[in-house]
Amino acid sequence: MIGYGFMGAAHSVGWRQAPRAYDLPGGVEMAVVVGRHADAVAEAAAKWGWLESATDWRAVIARDDIDIVDIVTPGDSHAEIAIAALEAGKHVICEKPLANTVAEAEAMTDAASRAAANGVRSMVGFTYRRVPAVTFLRDLIAQGVIGRVQQVRAAYRQDWLVDPDMPLAWRLQKEHAGSGALGDIGAHIIDMTQFVTGLHVESVSGTLDTIVKQRPLLGSGSGLSGTAAEGFGEVTVDDVAIFTGRLAGGALASFEATRFATGRKNGLTLEVSGDKGALAFDLEDLNALQFYDRTAPGDRQGFTKILVTEPSHPYVAAWWPAGHMLGYEHGFVHQAKDFVEAVTGGTDPHPTFAEGLSVQRVLAAVERSSAEGSAWIPTGA
């Protein structure tokens, strides 16, 4: 695993738990975690269960005992690391968004296609697909339970930037993050919309805004932690992204990605309306779906709660008795499970780099739309 921040902790839980919760066809050895700072990455290795740590990712990729490379670094290094790993014959899982630009994402997708011809697999880490309720929502739509999709409402709301004294972390710098709320959390709701409906976002009209344009500089410990240094730096990414999308087949979708939703810590919601009913998901109630059946008798209509904890629901059979809830970390376990099964089974895991590229094209179209006065822009996705 290359990188060891917040996502490094989450992915480590996934790799550690997957072979214990599931009967995987291949053993998983957490061989080495890589980071720039030797002492810090060594501490991370000891804490999370990695056998060793290193500071040179190129040397690790060249090792014969490494089969899978898991990339959890900032977006500005995704393309270089992923392409090098694929060319070295390593299976690759890369955190979302796939890259910082469409050009980088295209290069990664081309490399993945070449590698696939030699049996080398790759996947993007859109982990919310693996929340059992989200996978089940997708399955219900595919079964025609809500009929033809007519409208989608998707939002991802956080508030960790409301305080103007929050220091200038790497996520607020375009050269490292690519974009702000749009790419970081907006990518999730774009992918989730396309995943559950099976429909691509074909065009967008949107607006981006940066609410706090300067923030205190960080000291030597740059990242999401560290001491503030004297002076301020420019925020070069968006804080808020609000856009409309036209899906294949004509349905409209509204999207909101913001880090300024005061009081919202990790509020991801998705509602899909069809001509026969509707389904809704809320990450803050992640073991449940809300289902509305328009075909039911009038005196029995209304949203009802489906508790997605039965053994027959996706992923759930490996865990606890019905009604015993799963949490945020379980999505990373399911992600590791699916990736290992695909690699050992010789199949392409999803989402592929090509699917990640489709999201990247939507992100780029939203940025262009905002720059052009909210004009409708085709995504090419």
| DSSP letter string, 224-257 | SS-PEEEEEEE--S-SEEEEEEEETTS-EEEEEE
Its CATH architecture, for the domain 129-327+358-371, is 2-Layer Sandwich (3.30)
- Map out the domains of the chain as residue ranges: 6-128, 129-327+358-371
User: DSSP string covering 8-36, please?
Assistant: HHHHHHHHHHHHHHS--SS-----EEE-S
pTM over the 0.75 mark: yes
Structure-token pair, residue 169: 């972390």
Strands 149-157 and 52-54: unpaired
Three-state secondary structure readout of 276-305? CEEEEEEHHHCCEEEEEECCCCHHHCCCEE
Q: How far apart are CA 210 and CA 325, in angstroms?
A: 37
- Token pair 């999308």 is found at 245
CATH of the domain spanning 6-128: 3.40.50.720
Q: Are 201 and 191 in contact (CB under 8 A)?
A: no
Strands lying side by side in the sheet with 304-307: 304-307, 288-293, 277-282, 267-274, 149-157, 252-258, 240-247, 201-209, 377-378
pLDDT at 219: 66
pLDDT at 287: 98
* Fold match between domain 6-128 and domain 129-327+358-371: no
> Mean pLDDT per 10-residue run, the chain (381 residues)?
96 98 93 97 98 98 97 96 98 97 98 97 98 98 98 97 93 90 97 98 98 84 46 94 97 98 97 98 98 95 97 98 97 98 96 98 98 97 61
